[in-house]
Copies of this chain bind each other. A is one copy, B any other.
Amino acid sequence: MSIQDVAVKAGVSVATVSRVFNTPGKVTPATREHVQKAASALGYVPNASARTLRTQRSRVLGIVLPTLLNPVFAECLEGIAQAATTAGYAILPLTTDYRLELEDRAVNLLMAGNADGMILVVSNPATSLALARLCNARMPYVLAYNQHPDHPCVSVDSEQAVADLVARLASLGHRRITLVSGQLAASDRAQQRRRGFVRGMEAAGLDGSSLLEVPFVQTAVQEISDVLRRTPRPTALVCSNDLLAIRSIRAAHLAGLSVPRDLSVTGFDGIALGEDLTPMLSTITQPNADIGRCSVELLIQALAGGAPLTQAASICLAHAFRTGESCTAPDAATH
């Protein structure tokens, strides 16, 4: 079922059929309709591989994300998909599970697949080899969620956001605040958020060294729970992301504490689900779908203009604080 068959059935040349699909204006309305009829009668669909081979453009955007099990990236991907579809691009998403070798493999696969451009969330822009290969190959790309002076990035100001959040907690009366983070080495976001935490604590005249790093999901709840049983325990946990916040609330429950009465918990990301939880998650919300949309627009703009994207194109979107119900002033007794 090729353009040949359609041409024969319509009694025209393949060139005409091709024109009907690509530059309909350059063909007589009569023949155009005739060809269209023949095509749909045969159920003809232009072959993407052949077209890509010939034109050297795939109209495919490669998307590299850590995981879709974290709704943050699923939400972002929805934004990407929507914007890409609108612009006439298909997307090819791959996940890396925060592993560098998969980051590399994904980039490889996408280059082989003739992706026109790529949107990626890398573990760390400063050290990513995959990213370096991308630059070498002059492949247009945009980083999402990452933040780095040498690359075009779409993100929020994580550091500032967490610093503000800590200030807010301090003003509520919290003094013993612990940062709960995933593996710091695994992502620049985690590091930025920690910097924000330390800065915020110091600005409030508090001890910013209380850090609980929980690298593995399986053991996270238990480890957090252990910390909460110590004396004196923190009155607030600042979690590096929403999933950790949810696990912290569970950990509190296991330790016999009630959130927010005995312990305040805050998250980071603003996953939609957090709004439906009880207690509703207090968190820093990022415009996840917008980050995706924005990345696509930036990339497509560069694709159209032919100008290589630079760090100058970076966009910092606004974050917000969702009040929620998991965070309040500390109990006077505990305090």
Contacts and interface: CB of A to CB of B under 8 A. Distances in A.
Contact of A53 (B45, B50, B221, B272): B50
A53 B47 contact: yes
A81 interface: yes
A75 B81 contact: no
A36 B189 CA distance: 38
Contacts of A249: 278
A160 interface: no
Chain A interface size, as a band, is 35 or more
Contacts of A50: 49, 53
Interface string A12-54: 0000000000000000000000000000000101111110110
Contact of A49 (B74, B77, B114, B136): B114
A40 to B, nearest CB: 12
A190 B253 CA distance: 33
18 contacts: A43-B133, A43-B137, A45-B112, A48-B49, A48-B114, A49-B52, A49-B58, A68-B68, A69-B75, A69-B272, A74-B74, A81-B94, A221-B276, A243-B273, A246-B273, A250-B277, A253-B278, A273-B273
Interface of A: 43, 45-50, 52-53, 58, 67-69, 71, 74-75, 77-78, 81, 90, 92-95, 108-109, 111-114, 133, 136-137, 221, 243, 246-247, 249-250, 253, 272-273, 276-278, 280
Given A68-B68, A90-B113, 9 more contacts: A48-B113, A48-B114, A50-B53, A67-B78, A92-B92, A93-B93, A246-B276, A250-B276, A250-B278
